Amino acid sequence: MHATHRLDATFAALADPTRRAILARLASGQASVTELAHPFAMSQPAISKHLKVLERAGLISRGREAQRRPRRLEAKRLAEATKWLDRYRRFWEGRYRRLDALLEQLKTKEQKWEP
């Protein structure tokens, strides 16, 4: 999958609060569909649809333990999204630092002009 498409899929998956809650749960360890569905007022098929979106985005994977198919968090896609966001964070932090410096400079000038 092309990097742009991977980011699109990642951010689309993260746009839903249920999927973000599932990822938060999986951050503490793998879980079955039943365990993931427990805190939500929705059916297992509805949770399974959310899991498929997360799997297609590469945010989770499915294991195999006898009859269980536990899901686990895959950090690589989140790391890619974080790296993409970090470029913009650094850009805006630089802008804010320059704005702070300008405001401090204007404040100093204003203090010099006060009678």
Where are the domains positioned within the chain?
3-113
pLDDT along the chain (115 residues), means of 10: 87 96 95 91 91 96 79 92 90 90 86 72
pTM of the model as a whole: 0.75
Helix (H) or strand (E) holding 81: helix 75-113
Q: Which residues contact 69 (CB under 8 A, 6 or more apart)?
A: 32, 33, 62, 63
**pLDDT at position 3:** 80
Determine the Cα angle at 37 with ends 57 and 48, to 5°: 40
User: What is the CATH number that goes with domain 3-113?
Assistant: 1.10.10.10
- Cα separation, 41 vs 87, in Å, equals 38
**pLDDT at position 50:** 96
**pLDDT at position 29:** 93
Task: Look at residue 15 and give its three-state secondary structure.
Answer: coil
**pLDDT at position 65:** 67
